């Protein structure tokens, strides 16, 4: 087995994998590695691999990793394990020879006492082989997740085409997630349900969770939690009638949120109110325009408004993309347009307008029905600004300057969403690094840490945010987000 030089971090230098974590038990099952569990439980999840021969690896760990070491500088096993546990590592792998012929008993005792899984890596297994095996398992897990989501999408779409589509979609969702799916009305009562029964405590907890979300302005569109021994999630439907989808499962699997999102789109479309009078009025207005009536006359039939014109670009390319966006925004008035042009939507100015996952939105100022042409041009300019600044939603503002373009509360909410993946230590490091123009040494001095720690934390920030921190636009956006109230 090759021993890395002290202080080297070959595994940490690799970019973080976007694949789901892998159970330690799956890595132990790879017979060609010859790994042996010496302490702790295999029921932990591994997010990546890190190799270090530092006497104290704490500053170099991000949490969730399998830490591999040959014990080159292992002098106090109890303190070493305590520091590894404090850093949040998932497991410790110890390579025997050339430093140690066997795993030190003190190390085994310390891991057993603190509940840290300890793996013995045999002499014939290089640390790189362990890392490569874990990446392959992650790739397999990602492929399995994609297949599972694809099959679930087909199943839900088939259910939506049945004579009783809402119960069928709920049944398909419950079957795919292995739990229970409930559709709550605006008053919190169950209007439909499918799947296995849940304990009364879990049912009450799910109803309470559903009461948290809703279409009200500023309210969350989704929420998750635990109750009655089950994992719970709630999603607001986009039809505007206050319907909530609640899901209860034994555990949360990779891809569950995506599958539930497909069901939310379908149920939003299936439960959207069909108001014949409104439809007739819209059709009348369109016919008048086609027959040459002046816009002001057609606007009188459509209604005085005010209205908000929205331009959108994005989506996943599926046939449901535009319909799901319209349902999420609470309007049936959507023009898919022709690629590469944007999707255009018209919704009442009183309807809440919030960023939508996978979409970039530009909104014009609220306008009367006879001024929609100007509002349409404003929405187009707002979309271009949103794309240029990589912002999910930009509204037209008459006020000059950047501060007038974004509502203060909206900016704060966006900053919270953007920076949510980062822990406070990572945010502090990113803030200092940006303020010092990306200087590793000056940031290390400012934070009183090693410059390699700064590099690892900034690399971790880039991976969690999915952004290129060498891009000046990205740096600017993150700087404004970090300074948001």
Question: Which of 395, 400, 480 has the alpha carbon at shortest distance from 434?
Answer: 480
Would you kindly state where each structural domain of the chain is located, as residue ranges? 10-138, 161-271, 304-406, 413-482
Q: Residue 74: what pLDDT?
A: 95
Burial of 82 (0-12, 13-18, 19+ CB in 10 A): middle
Burial of 381 (0-12, 13-18, 19+ CB in 10 A): middle
Whole-angstrom distance, CA of residue 375 vs CA of residue 361? 14
CATH number of the domain at 161-271, please? 3.30.450.30
Q: Residue 398: what pLDDT?
A: 59
Whole-angstrom distance, CA of residue 269 vs CA of residue 237? 9
Angle between helices 165-177 and 256-271 (to 10 degrees): 170
Q: Residue 212: what pLDDT?
A: 85
> pLDDT truncated to tens, each residue of the chain (485 aa)?
333 333 333 333 333 445 678 999 999 999 999 999 999 999 999 998 999 999 999 998 988 999 999 999 999 999 999 999 999 999 999 999 889 999 999 999 999 999 999 999 999 999 999 999 999 998 888 888 888 888 888 888 888 877 778 889 999 999 999 999 999 988 888 888 999 999 999 999 999 988 888 655 556 778 888 888 899 999 988 765 688 999 999 988 878 888 998 898 888 888 765 444 455 555 555 555 555 556 566 555 566 568 889 999 887 665 457 777 777 787 777 787 776 778 888 888 887 888 888 889 999 988 887 788 888 888 988 898 888 788 899 888 755 455 555 556 677 788 888 899 999 889 899 999 988 888 998 888 888 889 899 999 999 999 998 888 888 888 888 888 887 76
Distances (CA, A) of 469 to 63, 130, 201, 250, 358: 22, 30, 46, 38, 21
Whole-angstrom distance, CA of residue 357 vs CA of residue 261? 11
Helix extents (H) in 61-160? 77-86, 105-114, 127-160
Whole-angstrom distance, CA of residue 104 vs CA of residue 393? 57
Half-sphere exposure of 274 (CA within 13 A, CB side): 3
The DSSP string of 329-375 is HT-S-EE---TTSPEEEEEETTS-----TTEEEEEPPPB-GGGHHHH
Q: Residue 139: what pLDDT?
A: 87
Whole-angstrom distance, CA of residue 279 vs CA of residue 92? 64
Q: Residue 371: what pLDDT?
A: 80
Whole-angstrom distance, CA of residue 398 vs CA of residue 56? 56
Radius of gyration from C-alpha coordinates of the chain: 27
- Tell me: cis bond preceding 466? Omega within 30 of 0 counts: no
The distance of Cα 389 from the centroid of its chain, to the nearest Å, equals 20
CATH superfamily of 10-138: HprK N-terminal domain-like (3.40.1390.20)
18: left (phi over 0), alpha (psi -120 to 50) or beta: alpha
CATH superfamily of 413-482: PucR C-terminal helix-turn-helix domain (1.10.10.2840)
Burial of 431 (0-12, 13-18, 19+ CB in 10 A): middle
- Tell me: cis bond preceding 364? Omega within 30 of 0 counts: no
433 Cβ contact list (under 8 Å, min separation 6):
439, 440, 443, 454, 458
């Amino acid at each position: 087995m090759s021993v890395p030089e002290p202080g080297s971090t070959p595994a940490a230098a690799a970019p973080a994998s976007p694949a789901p974590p892998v159970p330690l038990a799956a890595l132990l099952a790879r017979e060609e590695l010859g790994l042996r569990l010496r302490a702790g439980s295999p029921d932990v999840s591994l997010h990546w691999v890190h190799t270090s021969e530092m006497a104290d690896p704490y500053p170099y760990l991000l949490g969730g990793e399998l830490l591999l070491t040959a014990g080159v500088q292992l002098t106090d096993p109890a303190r070493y394990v305590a520091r590894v546990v404090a850093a949040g590592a998932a497991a410790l792998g110890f390579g025997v020879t050339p430093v140690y012929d066997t795993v030190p008993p003190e190390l085994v005792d310390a891991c057993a006492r603190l509940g840290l899984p300890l793996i013995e890596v045999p002499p014939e297994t290089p640390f790189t082989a362990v890392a490569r095996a874990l990446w392959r398992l992650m790739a397999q897990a990602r492929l399995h997740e994609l297949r599972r989501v694809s099959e679930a999408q087909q199943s839900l779409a088939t259910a939506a085409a049945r004579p009783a589509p809402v119960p069928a979609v709920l049944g398909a969702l419950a079957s795919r997630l292995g739990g229970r799916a409930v559709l709550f009305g605006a008053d919190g009562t169950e209007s439909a349900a499918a799947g296995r029964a849940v304990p009364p405590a879990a049912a009450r907890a799910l109803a309470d969770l559903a009461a948290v979300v809703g279409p009200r302005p500023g309210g969350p569109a989704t929420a998750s939690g635990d109750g009655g021994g089950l994992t719970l999630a709630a999603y607001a439907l986009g039809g505007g009638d206050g319907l909530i989808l609640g899901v209860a499962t034994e555990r949360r699997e990779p891809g569950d949120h995506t599958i539930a999102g497909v069901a939310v789109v379908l149920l939003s479309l299936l439960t959207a109110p069909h108001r014949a009078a409104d439809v007739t009025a819209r059709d009348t207005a369109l016919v008048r325009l086609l027959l040459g009536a002046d816009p002001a006359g057609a606007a009188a039939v459509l209604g005085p408004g005010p209205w908000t014109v929205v331009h959108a670009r994005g989506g996943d390319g599926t046939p449901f993309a535009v319909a799901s966006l319209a349902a999420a925004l609470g309007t049936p008035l959507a023009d898919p347009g022709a690629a590469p042009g944007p999707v255009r939507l018209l919704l009442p100015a009183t309807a809440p307008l919030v960023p939508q996952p996978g979409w970039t939105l530009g909104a014009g100022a609220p306008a009367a029905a006879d001024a929609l042409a100007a509002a349409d041009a404003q929405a187009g300019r707002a979309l271009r600004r949103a794309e240029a600044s990589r912002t999910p939603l930009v509204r037209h503002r008459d006020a000059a300057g950047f501060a007038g373009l974004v509502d203060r509360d909206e900016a704060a909410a966006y900053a919270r969403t953007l920076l949510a993946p980062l822990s406070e230590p990572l945010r502090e490091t990113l803030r200092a690094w940006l303020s010092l123009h990306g200087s590793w040494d000056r940031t290390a001095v400012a934070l009183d840490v090693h410059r390699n720690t700064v590099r690892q934390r900034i690399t971790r920030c880039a991976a969690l945010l999915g952004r290129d921190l060498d891009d000046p636009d990205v740096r600017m956006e993150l700087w404004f987000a970090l300074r948001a109230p």
